[in-house]
Amino acid sequence: MKRVAILISGSGSNMVALAESMKGDHPGRPVLVLSNVPGAGGLAKAEALGIPTAVVDHRGFDGRVAFEAALSEALEAVRPDVICLAGFMRILTAGFTGRWAGKLLNIHPSLLPKYPGLDTHARAIAAGDAEAGASVHEVTEELDGGPILGQARVPVLPGDTPETLAARVLVEEHKLYPAVLRRFVTGDRTRVDLG
């Protein structure tokens, strides 16, 4: 059974989708939900799902390296085979991505390599793109730059706001991330493409 840790900063809707997918004959099980934000909405959802939780508050540390040392210590305690970043809003140094190389996944709300970074939906709308979506990728030292393992596409509709587009993409994220994880835990790196 593969041990899956999930890192969050907010509502944790992707964490819920991942956790709920790991049932029955799925070779993975959630072993920890960790947030850098105390009181993040996803923590209560994880507790309701019976998943152990932890908080490592980045504000309590003097710099990224000290924070990441505490993060790695909390992760080492659960011996994860896979670490899923799911709405985790901290940039990770090469030291951390190197320490956990090969085990780190992230979901980013754009069709990478377009729009790494923030405000992805506003940027797609401003560019007049006909479609948008989400990408699941392996995490490397390059922000939102690792090998892409799956993408989900949605249309950008007339009158879309960043909020309406985000909501449409989020529905697909909740299908995409579990589908990629299901393959990833078995060592299967073939791409998932939805929509």
> What is the set of active-site residues?
108
For position 10 contacting ligand GRF by CB under 6 A, the verdict is yes
Q: CB-hemisphere CA count at 13 Å for 31?
A: 17
**Among 109, 133, 146, 178, contact with ligand GRF (rule: CB under 6 A):** 109
Q: For residue 7, what are its two tokens?
A: 């890192």
For position 172 contacting ligand GRF by CB under 6 A, the verdict is no
**Among 7, 37, 86, 148, contact with ligand GRF (rule: CB under 6 A):** 86
Report the distance separating Cα 110 and Cα 119, nearest Å: 10
For position 36 contacting ligand GRF by CB under 6 A, the verdict is no
Report the distance separating Cα 33 and Cα 47, nearest Å: 9
10 Å CB burial of residue 190 (0-12, 13-18, 19+) is exposed
Degrees, nearest 5: CA angle 153-154-159 = 150
For position 13 contacting ligand GRF by CB under 6 A, the verdict is yes
For position 12 contacting ligand GRF by CB under 6 A, the verdict is yes
Nearer to ligand GRF, 155 or 162 (CB): 162
**Among 3, 11, 90, 195, contact with ligand GRF (rule: CB under 6 A):** 11
For position 144 contacting ligand GRF by CB under 6 A, the verdict is no
Report the distance separating Cα 118 and Cα 90, nearest Å: 12
Instruction: Return the residue nearest ligand GRF (CB atom).
Output: 87
- The length of the chain is 195
* Footprint of ligand GRF (CB under 6 A): 8, 10-15, 86-87, 107, 109, 134, 170, 173
